[in-house]
Chain A
Amino acid sequence: DAKTTQPPSMDCAEGRAANLPCNHSTISGNEYVYWYRQIHSQGPQYIIHGLKNNETNEMASLIITEDRKSSTLILPHATLRDTAVYYCIVRRWANNLFFGTGTRLTVIP
């Protein structure tokens, strides 16, 4: 499985867009990019996934570069409830996910 690199922490002002980067330079052609988040010590929650096209759902948008070596999760209007650890995971399927240390996003009032 491709390894991912994420910044350990980021801050974002409430109401602004939060852009969380992830590098996955060794990603294989058939591997997907998944994003999960973990609020405080709760169980992780699925956010979004993509292969090569940009994706959007009610929670977030996922932008994947054309060479697929990096991606960005975008929370368009961050709220205080979006404060969490965000995990970028690269995997063929969604089973047996490997969670790294993620990015701790703090939304500031």
Chain B
Amino acid sequence: DADVTQTPRNRITKTGKRIMLECSQTKGHDRMYWYRQDPGLGLRLIYYSFDVKDINKGEISDGYSVSRQAQAKFSLSLESAIPNQTALYFCATSDSADAPDNEQFFGPGTRLTVL
């Protein structure tokens, strides 16, 4: 079984709808991240959480919110989806240590289309 899972894997929704993307991990990591990737571009950080009580904005948090329900779960919500939020969304996790060899492990991605 995958260590980092994302649901749904694909989603098509309409402008103005609320949508939630979910991420679960079995790696026992404290830190979790949400990124988005637009075609031909690199990943950009939306939000990150270093533990259950910690939420931090990333580079592009406007229009998004997150919830860290447990150590293993980190959800990303679009309160009112708009077409320019159409993208590939990735969840990632890492260990709690501030160490250079603390690599991030990524989920398979969620492809979101907003019509």
Contacts and interface: CB of A to CB of B under 8 A. Distances in A.
A43 B23 CA distance: 13
A46 B98 CA distance: 17
Interface residues of B, number: 30
Given A87-B42, A94-B94, A102-B42, A41 B109 contact: yes
B100 A43 contact: no
30 contacts: A41-B88, A41-B109, A41-B111, A42-B106, A42-B108, A43-B4, A43-B90, A43-B92, A43-B106, A43-B108, A43-B109, A44-B43, A44-B90, A44-B104, A44-B106, A45-B106, A46-B103, A49-B101, A49-B103, A87-B42, A94-B101, A95-B48, A96-B33, A96-B48, A96-B58, A97-B43, A98-B45, A99-B43, A101-B40, A101-B41
Interface of B: 4, 31, 33, 35, 40-45, 48, 58-59, 88, 90, 92, 94, 98-109, 111
